[in-house]
Amino acid sequence: MFGNTDEILYFPDDPAVREILKTCPPLEREKYKDGQPIFRQSSNQQKLMQGWLEENFEAHQGSEPIRFLSIGAGTGIFDEQLIQGFLRRGLQIQYEGLDPNQEVLKLLEKSLRPLTGDRLTVSALLSDFESFQTSKKFNFILLVHTHYFFYDLGQNLQKAWDLLEEGGNIILYSALDIFLSQFFNVTFQSNFGHPPWLSHHVQEALKTLHIPFRRESLRAVLDISTCFGENEKAVNDLLSFIIHADVSNISGRDVLLACLKENAIHENGRYLLPHTVDVFNISKT
């Protein structure tokens, strides 16, 4: 569907797009929670990420208990499926999930509660990674698009590396510098004072820190057709999650929608965009 040349697409040279993005406030709490499900339902990215973990990580686990740290665990949508896979293999899991959002953390606890028992212990901690302090070590650390929010990428990658046991793995999923990323490149800089840390930033930081890694691209697709439907809430929820900022009360939303439509592939009545993700496998051996 999309060749390599289609991956690097940028905004039209129109200052209006960037100016509108700069007016969008951060995507907070309920708005974030509303946007996440529709965004994930519109992309096959999570399915590809789960499949990669099952084939390249889960299937190669020995019998040792998994000491699992999830950085920015969110609602547990991703972690729950991963933990179920570990449990099916008869593994013991000691899970710690970090998130700075209390409401999201409640959903995490709710999603994992039915799985807890003799083979799974769960600790959900209200914290961002920068503030997290522990004397524990972990043999599996997971970051699913959560490193974007780090103020200092290198410092926090080093911190994660220091928390990793010998023989353990950090798995980090990151967006690339492609068309979809250009939206939150602007909103992150405007709202947080730093860019989101994309795949090339992660590579540069790991090389600077002399931390070994392997990287692989998973070519996903995002269906943005909902953005052009009649359900206003669904339009706002999906568009807000795409740009990682709140569009519900801005003027100029139509300019952003037009930019998306102009760059999308129209196929079988749907509007599709490349949604490729890089997976970093960081092993301490």
CA distance 268 to 272: 10
Considering the entire predicted model, what is its pTM? 0.92
DSSP string, 12-44: -S-HHHHHHHHTPPB--HHHHHHHHHHHHHTBS
- Tell me, rounded to whole angstroms, the distance of Cα 146 from its chain centroid: 5
Per residue of the chain (285 residues), what is the pLDDT tens digit? 544 434 444 565 578 899 999 999 998 877 887 888 899 999 999 999 999 999 998 877 888 999 999 999 988 989 999 999 999 999 999 999 999 988 889 999 999 999 999 999 999 999 999 999 999 999 999 999 999 999 999 999 999 999 999 999 999 999 999 999 999 999 999 999 998 999 999 999 999 999 999 999 999 999 999 999 999 999 999 999 999 999 999 999 999 999 999 999 999 999 999 999 999 999 998
Dihedral angle over CA of 61, 159, 206, 242, nearest 10 = 80
Strand 270-274 versus strand 138-144 pairing type: unpaired
